[in-house]
Chains A and B, each alone.
Chain A
Amino acid sequence: MEGLSDQELMARIAAGDAAAFRILSRRHAPRALAVARRILGSSAAADDVVQDALLRVWIHAPRWRPAAEPRTWLYRIVVNLCLDEKRRPRAAPLEAAGDVADPGADAAANLEARERDHLLAAAVAALPPRQRAAIVLTYQEGLANAEAAAVLDTSVGGVETLLVRARRALRAALGGDD
């Protein structure tokens, strides 16, 4: 069953196949977790969100229609849960800046690059949640604007507006003005 496509797995999940659900979860949980962590800036909250999102995929699978891409559907649930989580009033998590990628041995010697990375990571963490989600989906997940629009439940123009604002904010945080 490992060789089945996402669409085929979803068809089985819709029929109540738990094994297919486990395979689909294993296939997409890592990326879903990465998206949730970056949007939420918290590992524990991201774990909860992804678990919740996967369970929702299972619960609502009978309503899934083959026209929808399962990965896009999962991302949409994850992003919506993250945005709901961000709307809840609470103290800002200590790890809100998120994790900075290990710059490696070469970059470790380059303090300027490390400082820039920290600035960027902090600026991404400080973006409004929907702008951050658009940036994460575009840069981290490599989604085209049309796919990001489907995940964020908006138009391509809406995603472009989010990205324009987010990129300007990130450039401003880096001290760039172009």
Chain B
Amino acid sequence: MTLAQLQRLIEACGSAPEQWPPGERAAAERLLAASAPARGLLARAREFDRAVREVLQAEPQQAEVDRLLGALARHPLPPQHRGLLARSWPAALARPDFAPAWPRIAALACVGALGIAVGLSNVGARVAYDLAGVAASEEASPFDADAITGLRP
């Protein structure tokens, strides 16, 4: 890291190293350890940050905050904006929380997808064809000899 890069880093992220991105922080700290001008740059940036912070630290008086909150409390609160669903449906239906049900919804979706895949793969038709073939062959010789006795009815 160069001195100019350190200056850019300080201008973008401030003079506190904990606010610097980790990758750049390591390089900046190496530069700071090795370079006196870099340390001078950081010291001046810290002084600048402290001065700005001091100038901006004015707090509103509690009385001013109380006045603001009092003015807010004097009027009734306006109606909240709710969606059409929330206005016409019970709250529990208008604000559904699906999070606990996601595993079951996913399982149902998987089963549905499997059903569609089986339907498209022609497996069912082949099974039906085979069963029909078996039935036909059984119908062709309904009076086969008994496998044990060899007798026909």
State the A residues within 8 Å of B (CB): 15-16, 18, 21-22, 25-26, 29-30, 33-34, 37-38, 43, 47, 50-51, 54-55, 58-63, 98-103, 116-117, 120-121, 124, 135-136, 138-140, 144-145, 160-161, 163-164, 167-168, 170-171, 174, 176, 178
Known: A60-B81, A101-B58, A164-B12. A120 touches B52 (CB 8 A): yes
Contact B77–A34 (Cβ < 8 Å): no
Across chains A and B, the number of contacting residue pairs, with CB separation under 8 Å, is 117
Choose among B44, B69, B71, B81 the residue that contacts A178 (Cβ–Cβ < 8 A). B44
In angstroms, how far is the closest chain A Cβ from the Cβ of B75? 9
Contact A101–B68 (Cβ < 8 Å): no
Q: Within residues 1 to 59 of chain B, which ones have a CB less than 8 A from any CB in chain A? A: 7-8, 11-14, 19, 41, 44, 48-49, 51-59
Chain B at the A interface: SS class = helix
Q: Which residues of A contact B8 (CB under 8 A)?
A: 164
Q: Within residues 81 to 138 of chain B, which ones have a CB less than 8 A from any CB in chain A? A: 81-83, 86, 91
Query: B72 near A: Cβ within 8 Å?
Result: yes
State the B residues within 8 Å of A (CB): 7-8, 11-14, 19, 41, 44, 48-49, 51-60, 62, 64-65, 67-69, 71-73, 77-83, 86, 91
In angstroms, how far is the closest chain B Cβ from the Cβ of A99? 5
Q: Which residues of B contact A178 (CB under 8 A)?
A: 7, 41, 44
Q: Which residues of B contact A60 (CB under 8 A)?
A: 80-81
**In the bound complex, CA of A164 to CA of B48 (Å):** 13
Contact B65–A124 (Cβ < 8 Å): no
